[in-house]
Amino acid sequence: MAQHLIITAVGTDRPGIGNKIIHLISELGCNIIDTRIAILGNDFTLIMLTSSTLSQATRVEHSLPQLGAQHDLLTMVKRTSPHTELAPKFTIEAHIQAQDRIGLTEQVTFFFASKEIGINSLSAKMLSGENKDKFQIALSASLSDEYNLMQLQEDFATFCESLNVQGTLNFINNG
């Protein structure tokens, strides 16, 4: 039976640091299913999902902390199972842009949580350049066909208006 691991690493950003982790995982024979790398402040962050045999997973659990210590990284490994997603009828893509302010990301995530919509991915960041004081949130979520899309669109528009933010909500029909 395949073993699945979630691997995270955080440390000072420097060229090649992501490759050190990816190389170790590949060298130990694990299949990288999904990975995300981001620079937050001056730090490198990585989150990865792997699939492997039991012995390969155990070797990762023992080897990654050693690699982390050698390269001054905080690392974590957690066993998980493959995601069993029901075929979603629709994918939502939401984009919000506003003046930066404390609590905006929480308000956006609460809106979707209150509608019992789980977020698949979210990116929230300050913009640079001429939009220096602007904040942008982009997220995606999956919906079954039980949702009233027109009502959700209206609720989202009302929500954005109440916060004085610019927002768009797009629906992709997955068939």
Q: Which of 50, 80, 110 is where one domain is finished?
A: 80
- Number of structural domains the chain divides into: 2
Dihedral Cα 72, 73, 79, 83, nearest 10 deg: -160
Q: What is the mean pLDDT of the chain?
A: 92
Is residue 76 located within the same domain as residue 102?
no
Is residue 66 located within the same domain as residue 104?
no
Query: Which residue has tokens 């899309």?
Result: 149
Q: Which of 51, 80, 109 is where one domain is finished?
A: 80
Chain centroid to Cα 12, Å, comes to: 20
Q: Which long-range contacts (CB under 8 A, 24 or more apart) does 82-88 make?
A: 82/2, 82/4, 82/51, 85/142, 86/144, 87/174, 88/142, 88/143, 88/144, 88/174
Query: 131 falls in which pLDDT band (50, 70, 90)?
Result: low
CATH number, domain of 125, equals: 3.30.70.260
> Could you report the per-residue pLDDT of 97-127, keeping only the tens digit for each?
999 889 999 999 999 999 999 999 999 998 8
Judge whether 85 lies within some domain. no
Is residue 96 located within the same domain as residue 70?
no
Q: Which of 44-48, 79-83, 164-168 is predicted with the least confidence, judged by mean pLDDT?
A: 79-83
Is residue 73 located within the same domain as residue 124?
no
Q: What angle do CA 35, 40, 46 make, to 5 degrees?
A: 20
Query: 69 falls in which pLDDT band (50, 70, 90)?
Result: very high
Q: Which of 24, 56, 80 is where one domain is finished?
A: 80
Is residue 95 located within the same domain as residue 169?
yes
Is residue 57 located within the same domain as residue 109?
no
Is residue 27 located within the same domain as residue 66?
yes
Cα–Cα distances in angstroms (integers) from residue 63 to residues 20, 23, 29, 56, 135, in the given order: 12, 12, 13, 10, 39
Q: Are the beta carbons of 50 and 32 closer than 8 angstroms?
A: yes
Judge whether 105 lies within some domain. yes
pLDDT at 23: 96
Is residue 75 located within the same domain as residue 95?
no
Dihedral Cα 161, 163, 166, 171, nearest 10 deg: -70
Is residue 16 located within the same domain as residue 74?
yes
Q: Are the beta carbons of 108 and 137 closer than 8 angstroms?
A: yes
Domain coverage including residue 28:
3-80
Query: 86 falls in which pLDDT band (50, 70, 90)?
Result: low
Is residue 75 located within the same domain as residue 104?
no
